[in-house]
Amino acid sequence: MGEEIRIEIESKNKGYPIFIGNSTSALIQKFIEENHKNKKVGIITDDNIKSLYENTISKSLNHLSPYLISIPAGEKNKTRETKERIEDMLLEKKYSRDTIIIAFGGGVIGDLAGFVASTYNRGISIIHVPTTLLAMVDSSIGGKTGVDTKYGKNLIGTIHQPDAVFIDLNFLNSLPKEEFLNGMSEIIKIAITSDKELFEFIEKNSKEILEKEENTLLYIIKRSIELKKEIIERDEEESGLRQTLNFGHTFGHAFENYSEYKIKHGFCISRGIAVESKISVLTENLKREEEKRIVSLLDKFSLPNKINEDINPNKIIDIMKVDKKTRNQKPRFVILKEIGRIKTKNKDFSFEIKEDIIKKAIETPK
């Protein structure tokens, strides 16, 4: 691959560039030297990534003398306690406002480091170097930060836009297959709601994607980011259009909760995509053939889309009713008209669906 790709995110308060390439460390250095000269650099990562990439970091960013803070990997560490621990480490070393944080990892690190940066000394700069597919196309973009509590996921957090995002496809080579598929689920979701061409590209190139063929990956990552960019730029307050990103997530989130968070987000969302496509068919918006195409694409990536008979639909519906995106205890759904196009009506992008239809969609084989 030659030149890196640059996508600019525009935002009311602060825009930022996203660079996509396969040797980004030189770019990161240049960016810091040009924009954050003489600042101290703190890298926040997790133990898995540290053990894989510590040498790479020390080779490429050594002359910035970064302070490498590593936390144990996993969602269970995305907590207020971990945030406090990281803050104390920075304070202990007398890191001041003149600090730039590099979030080096998946979505857990991005959310946590973003939250730290947003409140440390009332807010310092951060750049994201996402290392999972999910973080590359989703969590590193849009500025949402946060931690989990015993009351629920992502309930405490801020919006803090990064100064830049650097995506290096090489990191995907060490990513376990399960994590790769987890990210594919979100890419497929955005293709289904917003871009038929991307959907067809993924259909035709599933083998190349699974083999991590560079140009193919580059295209789907770039396109997913452009689509998310379009959505977040047109709807910074999450008032309407941003709900598009929630397709598959009303059922998906409830199922994730029902499974007590033992099943990865992407594998709950793939089930959600199947159920919510079925709802789109049952409400006579989506053609049955299109639903079948969606399910067979999920199958190509071994993304689960069947709901076992021993699952209690009423329980899942009850969980949906208390979801934070619910209005008046009535679950709302993004509805497909066709692949690449969702239903909208009077600036509404999600719709209340009768309980018997939701139940039928869960119970009907896809």
List the catalytic residues: 122, 144, 186, 228, 238, 242, 246, 249, 253, 265
Task: Return the residue of 9, 90, 129, 175 that touches ligand NAD, per CB under 6 A.
Answer: 175
Task: Return the residue of 111, 163, 256, 291 that touches ligand NAD, per CB under 6 A.
Answer: 111
- Who contacts 64 (Cβ-Cβ below 8 Å, separation ≥6)? 29, 32, 41
Task: Return the residue of 135, 254, 279, 282 that touches ligand NAD, per CB under 6 A.
Answer: 135
- Our CB check for ligand NAD shows the closer of 17 and 313 to be 17
| CA 355 – CA 326 distance, rounded (Å) | 14
- The token pair at 309 is 């008979």
Four-residue CA torsion sign, 56, 60, 63, 64: negative
Binding to ligand NAD in span 53-82, by CB under 6 A: 73-75, 78
Q: Does 182 bind ligand NAD (CB under 6 A)?
A: yes
Binding to ligand NAD in span 197-226, by CB under 6 A: none
| CA 67 – CA 93 distance, rounded (Å) | 9
Least distance between ligand NAD and beta carbon 267 (Å): 11
| CA 290 – CA 143 distance, rounded (Å) | 33
Closest residue to ligand NAD, Cβ-based? 107
| CA 162 – CA 168 distance, rounded (Å) | 17
Q: Does 195 bind ligand NAD (CB under 6 A)?
A: no
| CA 31 – CA 270 distance, rounded (Å) | 37
Binding to ligand NAD in span 3-62, by CB under 6 A: 46, 48-49, 52
Q: Which residues pair with 129 in a beta bridge?
A: 104
| CA 324 – CA 258 distance, rounded (Å) | 15
Q: Does 252 bind ligand NAD (CB under 6 A)?
A: no
| CA 44 – CA 52 distance, rounded (Å) | 14
Task: Return the residue of 31, 120, 171, 180 that touches ligand NAD, per CB under 6 A.
Answer: 171
- The token pair at 126 is 């951060």
- Our CB check for ligand NAD shows the closer of 170 and 344 to be 170
Task: Return the residue of 107, 248, 252, 304 that touches ligand NAD, per CB under 6 A.
Answer: 107
Q: Which residues pair with 345 in a beta bridge?
A: 348
Q: Does 256 bind ligand NAD (CB under 6 A)?
A: no
**Residues at the contact surface with ligand NAD, assessed by CB under 6 A:** 46, 48-49, 52, 73-75, 78, 105-109, 111, 131-132, 134-135, 138-139, 142, 144, 153-154, 171, 174-175, 179, 182
